[in-house]
Homo-oligomer: A and B are copies of this chain.
Amino acid sequence: MLTAAGRILLRDGMQAVRFDRVAAEAGASKTTLYKWWPSPGALAAEAYFAQSRRLLDFPDTGDVRADLVAQLRSFVRWLKDDGAEKPLSELIGAAQMDESLAQAWSESYALPRRELARQRLRIARRQGQLREDADLDIIVDQLWGACYHRLLVLRVPFDESIAERLVDQALHGAAPRGAGRPEPAATDRGAG
């Protein structure tokens, strides 16, 4: 049923994910759908999650810059080439006015995805590729949040080339070197 809903979602958008259509496409009964999902919106959210699962695997090549760029590139390709841009915008849009959808979205997708990113970033911090005092949640906000900002708020086009620019600026900052806040002492590194 999730696969059927995901196919409908990517092909025809969120409005098309209705219990009757999913039941017909999956060869299941509407009763079963009603039993498992509180609303078509919640079903669409889980279907999106299932379809995008392969995107969640975070590479660990030992080079956090390369891995972040690769992950962001694959996210942008998923949006732009695989048709996810419209259903993703619609899902997040609808979640702003539908509490059951919002909950399914957060629990099935947004928060688990952030946790996977955190895990990769913790390794990088332990290896000294990130500052000891780097705020990992803010890195996530400044990479994926930037894409969502262009997608949902500014509504301006962007392409894969944003990945490197986002990662480099998140890692190295926009201020000239030497204008920075104090670097923690070398002996602090790797302590936390």
Contacts and interface: CB of A to CB of B under 8 A. Distances in A.
Nearest to A180: B172
Contact of A130 (B102, B148, B175): B175
A90 interface: yes
Q: In terms of DSSP, what is the predominant structure of the interface of chain A?
A: helix
Nearest to A132: B176
A96 B177 contact: no
A171 B175 contact: yes
Q: Give the number of copies in the complex.
A: 2
Contacts of A131: 173-176
B171 A130 contact: no
Shortest Cβ-Cβ A-B pairs, 7 listed: A93-B96, A145-B149, A173-B173, A141-B146, A134-B174, A142-B142, A171-B175
18 contacts: A92-B152, A95-B152, A106-B154, A130-B176, A138-B166, A139-B174, A141-B142, A141-B150, A142-B145, A145-B149, A170-B173, A171-B173, A171-B174, A171-B179, A172-B173, A176-B189, A177-B180, A177-B183
Interface of A: 15, 89-90, 92-97, 102, 105-106, 110-111, 114, 128-132, 134-135, 138-142, 144-146, 148-150, 152-156, 162, 165-166, 168-177, 179-181, 183, 189
